[in-house]
Copies of this chain bind each other. A is one copy, B any other.
Amino acid sequence: MTINAHTPEPGAGDAVPAKAATIYDVAQAAGVSHQTVSRFLKGFQGIRPETREKVVRALDELGYRPNLTARSLKSGRSHRIGALTHEISKVGPSRVAEGASAAAREAGYVLDLVSLDVANPRAIEESLELITQHDLAGVLALSSTDEMTRAFETTEFRVPVYIDVEVDDTVSSHPSDLTTVGMPALVAHLADLGHRALVHIAGPATWSAARNRILAYETAVIGQGLRSIGILPGDWSARSGYEAVVALPRLPDATAFVAANDQMALGAMLALKERGCRIPDDVSVVGIDDIPESAYFDPPLTTLHIDFEAAGRLSVHKLLAEIEGTEVPQMVVPPPQLVVRRSSGAAPSR
């Protein structure tokens, strides 16, 4: 059951007014003009100490809270950021949203988080429509799919926009950290264990992150002189990882599976076990993301730890730099880090 906490009604003798005080109320209480209050609030220096103190007292007594609506109407600037992201429970890295939310909050902004089906153009359009109507300082796309990118391209924003894509695989010459650091470490780990042939379980092709991971996987496999037996399609879900393995007519010659995220690794492990494979004795399985649960899979999952929160914060800071016309702060997202657990082991000797 639920409780309904109404706004407390201040008693008759209560000093706090039921209606919000405006700077005019404050000014009247302090015996100064509202402009003086405004100047004080904006940190203007030329105010005499005694005037300043009267204002402070009135401000305090009335429990003044600025009306940001009026402020943004006049200034033409708001302190809200619209952020679109995937259904947060569906995919592991919802910490991106948390980091973004926290970073925005710290900068005095509020993040309007809109989670939606990022593969559904209609849903994206509708959300953009609503979000552009509510005055915003900027718009952020925290999950990048082709549908999302396209919707952003065709929508006219009057504010800065920032799309966080794991890699821009059409024009980029800057490979991501995953490609340069994370995936090589993961694949090298498998190579060290004697694995020579791998299989990748990929995310949906319309997600830039999925493409990035395929690219990183293929690059790393070549880099280590290994062989990729194939790329199985998935959709990030544990079910898709399971079904990708179940759908195989026979188990491939590969001795290790590299899933594009931990959930798919979980599903794949179950399917492999059901097909009689022991993990990691017969086949190794590794994931990417390092979701909190993956340390408690059976066996605990070897994976790449990714600092999603930092990524979310960085996205917000980049957008804020754009909004406020300041420098992008020198922030680094820690590179993906290999976490070795028990789901990876020595390749079986034939």
Which A residues are closer than 8 A to B by beta carbons? Answer: 1-8, 16, 18-20, 63, 65-70, 72-73, 78-80, 82, 87-90, 92-95, 97-98, 101-102, 105, 108, 110-116, 126-127, 130-135, 152-153, 156-168, 171-172, 174-176, 237-239, 241-242, 263, 266-267, 269-270, 273, 291-293, 295-298, 300, 315, 318, 322
Contact B95 A4 (CB under 8 A): no
Complex Cα distance, B20 from A157, in Å, reads: 10
Cα A126 to Cα B79 with chains together (Å): 16
Instruction: Pick the most buried of A5, A131, A273, A297: most chain B CB atoms within 10 A of its CB.
Output: A5
Tell me the complex Cα distance, A68–B129, Å.
Answer: 13
In the complex, what distance in Å separates the CA atom of A7 from the CA atom of B155?
9
Give the CA-CA distance A157 to B63 in the complex, in Å: 12
CA distance A235 to B242 in the complex (A): 29
Tell me if B300 and A270 are in contact (CB < 8 A).
Answer: yes
**Please, how many angstroms separate the alpha-carbon atoms of A294 and B153 in the complex?**
38
Contacts of A105 in B (CB 8 A): 114, 126-127, 130
Whether A7 contacts B158 by the Cβ 8 Å rule is yes
What are 25 inter-chain pairs, A to B, with CB distance below 8 A? A1-B166, A2-B315, A2-B318, A3-B165, A3-B168, A4-B322, A5-B163, A6-B161, A7-B157, A16-B156, A18-B158, A69-B69, A80-B134, A88-B89, A89-B92, A89-B94, A98-B115, A105-B127, A110-B112, A111-B114, A241-B296, A242-B296, A263-B293, A266-B293, A269-B298
Cβ-defined contact, B293 with A273, below 8 A: no
- Which residues of chain B are near A164, meaning CB under 8 Å? 2
Cα–Cα, bound, A152→B108 (Å): 21
* Residues on the B chain within 8 Å of A166, using CB: 1
- Most B-side CB within 10 Å, residue of A4, A82, A113, A315: A113
CB closest chain-B residue, reference A72? B69
Q: How many copies are assembled?
A: 2
Q: Known contacts A2-B315, A267-B296; decide if A134 and B68 are in contact (CB<8 Å).
A: yes
A162 proximity list for chain B (CB < 8 A) = 2, 4-5
Q: Which of B88, B116, B269 contacts A94 (CB 8 A)?
A: B88
Most buried by B among A4, A20, A167: A4
CB contacts (< 8 Å) of A297 on chain B: these are 266, 270, 297-298
Residues of B close to A318: CB separation below 8 A? 2, 4
Contact (Cβ within 8 A) A68 B101: no
Contact yes or no, B296 A270, CB < 8 A: yes
Q: Which residues of B contact A63 (CB under 8 A)?
A: 156
Complex CA–CA separation, A238 to B294 (angstroms): 9
Among B68, B115, B158, contact of A133 (Cβ-Cβ < 8 Å): B68
- Is the Cβ of A273 less than 8 Å from the Cβ of B298? yes
Instruction: In the A-B complex, list the 6 residue pairs whose CB atoms are closest, starting with the nearest.
Output: A113-B113, A238-B296, A89-B94, A1-B174, A69-B135, A267-B296
A110 touches B101 (CB 8 A): no
Write the nearest CB–CB distance from A130 to chain B, whole angstroms: 6
Measured between C-beta atoms, what is the minimum distance from A67 to chain B in Å? Answer: 7
Least CB separation from A177: chain B residue:
B1
